[in-house]
Amino acid sequence: MGVLDGIKILELARVPPAEMPGMLLADMGADVLKIETPEPDRPAGPEWVRRTLHAFTNRNKRSMTLNLKSPEGQAIFRRLAAGADVLVEGFRPGVMKRLGADYAALAQANPRLVYCSLSGFGQDGPYKSYPAHDMNYLSLAGVLGLIGEADRKPAIPLNLVADYAGASLHGALGIMLALFARERTGRGQHVDVAYLDTTVSLLAATPNMRFFFSDGMAPRRGEGFLGGSYPYYAIYETRDGKLLTIGCTEPWLWENFCKAIGRPDLARFARQPDQFVRAANTEEEAARREIEAIIRTRDRDEWYELLVKADVCVGKVYDVEEMVRDPQITHRQMIVDVQHPVHGPVRQVGVAIKLSDTPGSVRSAAPLASEHTDAVLKDLGVGPGEIAQLREKGVIE
């Protein structure tokens, strides 16, 4: 039994970051129904099916198509929303209102509804209607300018920060908080999650922002003790051309590293209190170059085994093929297979949150678009003749 068994969620999302909150809740037992737009020219064939089934953020969900621009589609959607616990939408502000499906309209019929909106800049403010993507939010939040080496353009960290760590995880948390509040008040509420807001919040939690508001010490790219310029927190190349990460920000761990590489004299380059925002000085950079030469004398995996035994914070820089074979990742069931009734085993990343009594599970691969349309409509009491008429009108697919 999942912790969210019995919770019904409607999802209107066209991009994976807005789909991920529903997936996280579906993993824990929620019944998530994706509402997708009918597309007569939708791709078909085995390649499209395979890619669809492996879509991580859509697993454990059902799918139906519904044309929300049509009066019939809007009427069906209102019936669905009247019985839902949660609605998740990822459109720009104003779109749901034009469809007659904004929070104010739906809450009249279902005051217990938790309505989560994920948008770039939130539901209000001067930027609310602007288009943007992850890199744009990172740049405006002051995050992008801090990532990478000082003498180069900023490094783009995939779309992990604003999209997923930001909007997706905050969206799922916001929904759970609103559901918890509903247990006390009996009322739902609007959860307004902005990609930009969440990125600013994540930045504020980093060590190099610790003294900005108190002392005016602004971090800069490539500087600070996590910027990569100090020997104790850096990426080193090994003899076989692979990479190794050393992250010994505690003095005793750095001492372990220095002893393990046969250079206990370098322990004096442990992290210092003044290194939160400044870059490494000439002597510290020279120490890093000495260590670079030492690390090049052995292969990556050889160094890893030696340093792990020496109680050092060390990591191998994997490619994805190596990651999925790592013994720790496989032991923690972070790579799993779900059996599809037609297409056989479908490989998935596992459930990251491990609950001891009510664990999450990967019960089904992502659905094909409109896979559950007829079943959902039958549950609403719509007969076969009416379903056929809706399909003929293009209300459903």
Residues noted as catalytic: 133, 163
d(CA 77, CA 34): 12
d(CA 373, CA 35): 9
Structure tokens given for 314: 């060390």
Calculate the alpha carbon distances from 112 to 23, 72, 186, 384 in Å. Answer: 21, 24, 6, 31
d(CA 249, CA 272): 9
Calculate the alpha carbon distances from 347 to 50, 95, 261, 350 in Å. Answer: 11, 35, 40, 9
Name residues whose C-beta falls within 8 Å of residue 121's C-beta, 6 or more positions apart in sequence: 127, 128, 130, 132, 194, 195, 196
Instruction: Say which residue the tokens 């549950």 belong to.
Output: 379
**How many other C-beta atoms can be found within 10 angstroms of the C-beta atom of residue 254?**
25
3-state DSSP assignment of residue 228: coil
Residue type, 169: L
- Check if the beta carbon of residue 296 is closer than 8 Å to that of residue 239: yes
- Check if the beta carbon of residue 355 is closer than 8 Å to that of residue 63: no
Query: If we measure between CA atoms, which residue out of 135, 6, 27, 25 comes closest to residue 365?
Result: 27
d(CA 61, CA 59): 5
Burial class (CB in 10 A: 0-12, 13-18, 19+), 228: buried
d(CA 62, CA 374): 11
- What does the radius of gyration of the chain's CA atoms come to, in whole angstroms? 25
Query: If we measure between CA atoms, which residue out of 250, 252, 201 comes closest to residue 225?
Result: 250
**What secondary structure does DSSP assign to 55-94, as a single string?**
-GGGTTEEEEE--TTSHHHHHHHHHHHHT-SEEEE-SPTT
β-partners of residue 339 are 345
